[in-house]
Structures are given as structure tokens and as C-alpha cells.
Amino acid sequence: MSDEPPAAREIAPAKLNLALHVRGKLPDGRHRIETIFAFCTDGDRVSAAPYEHIWVETKGPFGAEVSGYDNLVTKAAMLLRERRGPNLLDGGAWIILDKQLPVASGIGGGSADAAATLRLLTSLWGMDPKHAQEIAPELGSDVPACLLSLTAKGTGAGDDLSPIALPGISGTPVLLVNPGVPLSTAEVFAAWDGEDHGPLGDWRKGRNDLEAAATALVPKIGNVLAWLSEQRGTTFVRMSGSGATCFALFESEGARDAAADAVPQEWWRLATFLR
């Protein structure tokens, strides 16, 4: 392959669940949730250019963990290509995924990558964006939210979306911290206590109902949450998704940066802002 990177680029923003209430089960067996999605200004990076077939390269600190054809970027590209029709199947795309976010970490890395790929390729191939919207739920419950990449309330399995306004949240400094342990979403949901602890109202007064299950599987999550809560200038601390990434909102960029500098070396961190 050429050393020249594809010209069209997209950020695949890190996803945060400001609150996540598990309310029970849906008829199809998936868990019924209520959640508030928010997105960061930073994340993975996806780029693409026309090519004779679908070719996906990975790089970045976590690129080796998602290399090969069994990843959501490849699946998204293949599914979208099928929607182009039989006369257009000879065209493809050369895609580069720069994987900056840890894998299986509760911040929607794979889902955001798939969503960025759908956005890029619908533009590259001149397709109606409705095709991306139709495909997104097939790739995972978080992919529709990541396709939107705006603050929204998710119900159902998290894929029934209602955009919402949270005044003053855009531009909030945020620090993401992961203890360096991948965590299976399926295992965390399987360990959920099965209790409906009530509906989601004000996200600041809400919960992450998966936190206890995730912490039981990875006790270091408790250490991260405790450490974040001790940092000066924090206004809110919570685990995101099924973990193990936790996050803190800060009253100022300076306070966030001071905390980022103090994160234990063995933990992954990302200092960023909410979109």
C-alpha cells in the first residue's frame, strides 16, 4: 500500500454515559436501558479513500488489538457496500483506523469507529445517509448514538434516541481514566443484579447500574473512581458504559490538566472536552 494516507478523515469521538439505568429485559433478550449519551472532542481517527476493494489498516497504540477483518470498521464498510447495489460492488475503499482508545473499555471505541466509517463512506460513495442510519443498529446498540455523536437520551437497548440539550455542558473539561484492563460488556451485563432501581431523571442524580457488577469483575475500577473523586476541581465522577473507563468533569481546564499529570503511570488517560 502507498505511504500516503487517505484524504477524507473523521474523528470517532469517545462516548460517555453520563448516567445508565438498567430497567429490565426486552422481548429480544437485550437489556432495556435508559441512558444519557455525551461525546468528547477526541477519540479514534478514521480516514478513507477510493480503492478497488475494501482494505482496512490499523495503527496507533491499540491498533494491533483490532487488526484483521473481524472488526466493526470492516463490517460497517462491507454492509454499506452491499447497499450500493450490484452495479457498484466493484468499488471499495482504503480505510485507515488510528486506534487511540483502549478496546473493550466502555467508551464506545468500536461503535464510534463503525459510525465514523459509515459517515465517511456514505460521503465518499455519494450515498444517501439513510443507508448509514439503517445499518447502524445492525452493528451494535451504541452505533446509532455514535453515528449521531451528539448529546442524546437512549432508551430501548440504547438505540432509540432523542437528542437533548444540556445547557452549559459543551466545552466542559473531562478526564477519562482506564486501569488498563479490558472488560467484556456481555460479562458485565450477565453480572448485573437484575434489579430495576428506577427511571432516569436528572443525570447528575442518576446512576450507572453496571458499576457494581463491573467493579466486582475488575476491582481496580473502584480505585480509579476513588482517585478521581479526590482530585481538585472535580464536579462529577462516574464509570462510563460497562467499564472499565471512568471519567471526571472539571470546573476548569487547569484543574483537569493537573489531575491528568498526576494519573498513575500504569493507567490510561485522556484529557479532553465534551462536545
Cα 46 from Cα 8, distance rounded (Å):
8
What HEC string does 170-206 produce?
Answer: CCCEEEEEECCCCCCHHHHHHHCCCCCCCCCCCHHHC
The answer to whether 45 and 10 are in contact (CB under 8 A) is yes
| Residue labelled with grid coordinates 442518576 | 206
Among candidate residues 98, 113, 142, 209, the one labeled active-site is 142
205 labelled catalytic: no
Long-range contacts of 54-57 (CB under 8 A, 24+ apart): 54/78, 54/81, 54/92, 54/93, 54/95, 55/1, 55/92, 55/93, 55/94, 55/95, 56/95, 56/96, 56/97, 57/1, 57/94, 57/95, 57/96, 57/97
DSSP element (H, E) containing 10: strand 8-25
Taking Cα atoms as reference points, which of 39, 22, 40 lies closest to residue 31? Answer: 22
Task: Please report, as a single letter, which amino acid is at residue 11.
Answer: I
- 3-state SS class at 85: coil
Q: Any catalytic annotation for residue 202? A: no
Catalytic: which of 15, 75, 99, 153?
Answer: 15
Where b means 16+ CB within 10 Å and e means fewer, 47-75 reads: bbbeeeebbbbbebebbeebeeeebbbbb
**Catalytic sites, residue numbers:** 15, 142
